[in-house]
Structure 1
């Protein structure tokens, strides 16, 4: 596959080029949020001449209808059932279905339904699962798929991307470097979406407060995220990132234990744990 405009780690690019020569029935692209797993998956599908066939997480609204929701949705079983029907039809060209999970996943029921598709492969039909949460896929799905880990890009690649960005001062460059080091898709989004950039900076600052603020400041900050699951998960990620930097410079048993607690808290929120309760526990 030709090198894409999105910057890709050289080792990752090598694996993609190799697997693109003989695309498997099922392929999993797994990597951290912002590294570009969905973009790479869609480029692979396009490279093989497939029409745009993307399945995204959805959530049922108050009107009873489902709509795309990357913050609180999941891959719904209705889409899997519809997919099962559509893949029974033969096509003159390859059909590559891209599952763009983001940080979401499929219910166990939907995953079991998807397994039936993997157990009955059709010529010219392929599935690419682009996910940041490989651990949330059933082992049986993983075992029936080939997996490529999408690595964060090299420091020099990050620098090259930042150098190509126009109208960026040193302060913003430093922030992008800290928040999105090695994550080209995230850097591009932060640069192009001012509202998203401001939100991320606020979360990063709140993470600092959650680590080093007074107990009252921490509880006040945690309360602000009680109705924002996606923001709370990002907050915990920023806290972990900042604690990791601290741990690299000093061996601190208490901070290491805190990091483990934050990982557990983030996992709990990703499976719909109570936001207020778990954030409060991460403060005390």
Structure 2
């Protein structure tokens, strides 16, 4: 039903829920773990509605600027409270992008959940959800898969070049959705490789080269966020192999820069603040 591969711990946790989903489930994990695909798998073709972040015109917006608004949650509530004897499933993708009004509206639904209804939330940054929502959902984190599983996934997608395999394994770092996309989308693979190269410059280059890099990115928010995500991949890898207080500090500063730029902060100012 899904092309994703799960770690043994994640697979066991999901299997235990397959026949009896709680009324509210939160799937968490790093970007590229396959949260939405997993949510769709769990609904078993009984999905009633999916709520996703949108722009002001109501178009789906998967960027950090996207917002889930109270109007969308009210539509969900209106649909979910209709009485039925059939089990129904609703997905709220990137649930942490609900604004405060939407979160409070959804909280009321969680406090008095309708019968025969399950809500599946996905979030890469669950700390942005209200504590009162987090206390009312069952949570499963999708762990990265092993290197052996990653190799098997690449083999299944006919990636035979050792060089490409090595690059994809580093880029994905055990995230199956990312690994699958890298294997199937050459343009995405090339863009991700460029982003990693530039991220290394951001982290390790000399002052002049880093400033030149910042100037080349400062007008493109989406590309800048992708650059910072690539830098975070490098730092996570360093933490797993040679952890140190300096690397932890760098990780924290990257996260701060990412959050501020995602919140419409000045790109050049935030990147310059990171490198000084």
TM-score of the superposed pair, with normalisation by structure 1: 0.89
Residues 96-152 of structure 1, C-alpha deviations (whole Å, 9 max, x = no match): 0111218x6111111111111111211111100011111111110010111111111
Match of 2:232 in 1: 240
Instruction: Please say if residues 265 and 282 of structure 1, whose CA atoms lie closer than 8 Å, have aligned partners that are also in contact.
Output: yes
Select which of 70, 78, 96 maps to 2:89.
96
Q: CA deviation at 1:92?
A: 4.3
Question: Aligned Cα RMSD in Å?
Answer: 2.1
Counterpart CA distance in 1 for 2:93 and 2:240 is: 34
After superposition, where does 1:167-246 map in structure 2 within 5 Å?
A: 167-246=159-238
Residues 187-220 of structure 1, C-alpha deviations (whole Å, 9 max, x = no match): 1112222222222111111101112222122122
Instruction: Please say if residues 38 and 130 of structure 1, whose CA atoms lie closer than 8 Å, have aligned partners that are also in contact.
Output: yes
Counterpart CA distance in 2 for 1:9 and 1:158 is: 10
Match of 1:81 in 2: 74
Counterpart CA distance in 2 for 1:151 and 1:212 is: 29
Match of 1:59 in 2: 55
> 1:273 is paired with a residue of what secondary structure?
coil
Q: Which runs of 5 or more residues in structure 1 are unaligned?
A: none
Match of 1:272 in 2: 264
Q: 1:11 to 1:167 in 2, by over 3 A?
A: closer
Q: 1:76 to 1:195 in 2, by over 3 A?
A: farther
Q: CA deviation at 1:66?
A: 1.5
Q: CA deviation at 1:226?
A: 2.4
1:30 equivalent to 2:28? Answer yes
After superposition, where does 1:1-12 map in structure 2 within 5 Å?
A: 4-12=2-10
Counterpart CA distance in 2 for 1:249 and 1:17 is: 32
How many residue pairs match? The answer is 275
Q: Write out the 4+ residue segments of structure 1 that deviate beyond 6 Å after TM superposition.
A: none
Match of 1:259 in 2: 251
Instruction: Please say if residues 43 and 89 of structure 2, whose CA atoms lie closer than 8 Å, have aligned partners that are also in contact.
Output: yes
Moved more, 113-122 or 86-95: 86-95
TM-score of the superposed pair, with normalisation by structure 2: 0.91
Select which of 119, 126, 129 maps to 1:134.
126
> 2:217 is paired with a residue of what secondary structure?
coil
Counterpart CA distance in 1 for 2:245 and 2:61 is: 39
